[in-house]
Structure 1
Amino acid sequence: MAAACTNGLDTGFVALGYGKVALLGILQGITELLPISSTAHMRIVPAFLGWQDPGSAFSAAMQLAALAAVVSYFWQDVRDVTFGAIASAVKGDVDSFEFRFAVGIVIATIPIAIAGMLLSRTLNACGSPLRGIGVIGIACVVMGLLLAWAELASRHRRILKEVRLRDALIVGLAQIGALIPGVSRSGSTLTAALFLGLKREDAARYSFLLGLPAIALAGLKELYELRHAGLDMHGWGVLAIGLITASLSALVAIWGLMRILERFSAWPFVIYRILLGVVLIWAAFNGTFQ
């Protein structure tokens, strides 16, 4: 179906109504924090069901649901780093782990903040070419292959307290890839963290914690854009339902990801991503979801 626009902003989710958005919120929450690309699923599932494309504005605003889930699940880490960094700054202890980690989060956020501002108009435009099924499919396959390479190349020995500012910059640069639909923010940052030799569960924790400011900025920026575009009360109500269901499902997704990485590896996500990407490329070639 054609993109729905509100003053040039892709707001297809409004036409879906409360029930459909609640279901898509569950799907968005799960796929947003797993390294399998929420954008890919937000395109293929509504298309398969014959629903309106919820649009990039919906996906971006759902970042706030991911934020709530990550902060809740990793609350002890968030609290320790926040208050530890403040205490270290007051004492002038710039060598403490908490202070260095907080500085690393800032460094990791700068690249995606700059790239996001530069690409904002293209990413959120109605009918953006970057949201094409073929583009998303190719991104899924490429990211899946990179994640497989990371699994094979990583020694899985380093722990979170061993990370340095250089590591934060590398993961931050990898996070830019999340702007391309189909790549996945958690997929790109998890892959980078694995390449740096982190243990799988520490790589996931590092990925989530470093991404908190980027997730918050993306979500808040989208709320501002929706307000500026003149979204009506019905639209805000539909979005709120999506945020609630996405927050709950995102918590389940984090729990599942941590269990899988602790007990197994990232290979289930590698296989899933590549298969999904192949299906999307095939669908684009055959015009299945036009």
Structure 2
Amino acid sequence: MDWLQVFVLSVVQGVTEFLPVSSSAHLILVPVFFDWPDQGLYFDVALHVGSLIAVLLYFRDEIGAMIRGFVRSITTRTLDADGKLAWAIVLGTIPVGLAGLLLKDVVSSYARSPHWIAWGVIIFGLLLGWADWKFRGERTERDMTWKDVAIIGCAQALALFPGTSRSGITLTAALMVGMSREAAARFSFLLSIPVIVLAGGLEAIEIVRQPQAIDWMPVLGGVVISGVTAYACIHYFLAFIRRMGVQVFVAYRIVLGIVLLSMF
């Protein structure tokens, strides 16, 4: 890869990982549009590491409190708000983890074409807009019931299909159970931590199984650029969604889907 490709893909990953527009779809489509060679698994892992570092740094205080609450829930068997939120993230990750193990080959074989991505972008974009308009409430992530966690966790499993958007489908489900926009976004960001770890871990296993020469400079550049971009995206998205909502992203998804259908 040349440095233009490194920069563009890193920025695309950093921005789209946490916006409800499907990062996997954009990472598949950008090389297609520019006729670039496939960036390879090791670079995908690097971009995920950058996004992971960004979300860990941004929510470091909340994560520290959740870890302490999680430990207290085990050692003293008392479940406070921080411990409950930690368990919600753990339990909410189980469906996507199981689905990833069962459907990985199917998704990689049949769901990565621009045509399927286009329909996923449109359909799940419309669903996000409907959830924001019809069901949005004022509950926070600390007001969730275990049923809410199960609904959001199962919805997250749909993100295995490119075009769905992990953040988009979790935002949709959180809004449908009556959470506010900002609370839905915060929980979606926190829920991304184990998912990014799992996805990056599976890709790392593939790299170990199929060792290849690695040019470390693009890898390190991808980590830094995607991390900085993702951190800024989290900060400004939370402020944006609080004031403006998600409809602009719905409109973007519809336009993107129509363009893809017309091209492919």
Letter in 2 for 1:104: A
Structure 2 residue 100 is matched with structure 1 residue 116: yes
Paired with 1:68 and 1:200, the residues of 2 have a C-alpha distance of 24
- The partner residue of 2:218 within 217, 238, 241 is 238
Aligned twin of 2:246: 266
Q: What whole-Å deviation, never above 9, does each CA across 1:141-192 have from its counterpart, x for those lacking one?
A: 0111100111111232112221122111111101111100111111111111
Q: Name the stretch that deviates more: 241-250 or 189-198.
A: 241-250
Asked whether the 8 Å contact 2:46–2:220 carries over to 1, the reply is no
1:132-147 paired onto structure 2 within 5 Å: 132-147=113-128
Q: Aligned residue for 2:9?
A: 24
1:194 corresponding residue in structure 2: 175
Secondary structure at the counterpart of residue 34 of structure 1: coil
Is 2:67 the partner of 1:98?
Answer: no
C-alpha root-mean-square deviation of aligned residues, in Å? 1.9
Give 1:1-290 correspondences, 5 Å limit. Answer: 16-54=1-39, 58-59=43-44, 62-94=47-79, 96-124=80-108, 128-234=109-215, 236-284=216-264
Pair 1:217–1:43, CA change in 2 (3 A):
closer
TM-score, normalization: structure 1?
0.85
TM-score, length basis structure 2: 0.93
In 2, the alpha carbon distance for the partners of 1:268 and 1:97 equals 33
Q: Aligned partners of 1:39 and 1:84: how far apart in 2?
A: 33
Q: 1:81 to 1:136 in 2, by over 3 A?
A: same
Q: 1:8 aligns to what? A: none
State the Cα distance separating 1:91 from its structure 2 match: 2.1
Tell me, yes or no, if the aligned pair for 2:54 and 2:231 is still in contact at 8 Å.
yes
Question: Does the residue aligned with 2:139 lie in a helix, a strand or coil?
Answer: coil
User: Where does structure 1 lack aligned partners over 5 or more consecutive residues?
Assistant: 1-15, 285-290
* 1:72-111 per-position Cα deviation (integer Å, ceiling 9, x unaligned): 11111111111122124322213x1122222221211111
- The whole-number CA distance in structure 2 between the counterparts of 1:51 and 1:185 is 25
Distance (Å, rounded) in 2 between the aligned partners of 1:62 and 1:79: 24
| Structure 1 stretches of 4+ moved >4 Å | 55-61
Could you tell me the percent identity over the aligned residues? Answer: 37
How many residue pairs match? The answer is 264
Q: Do the aligned partners of 1:61 and 1:220 also contact (CA within 8 Å) in 2?
A: no
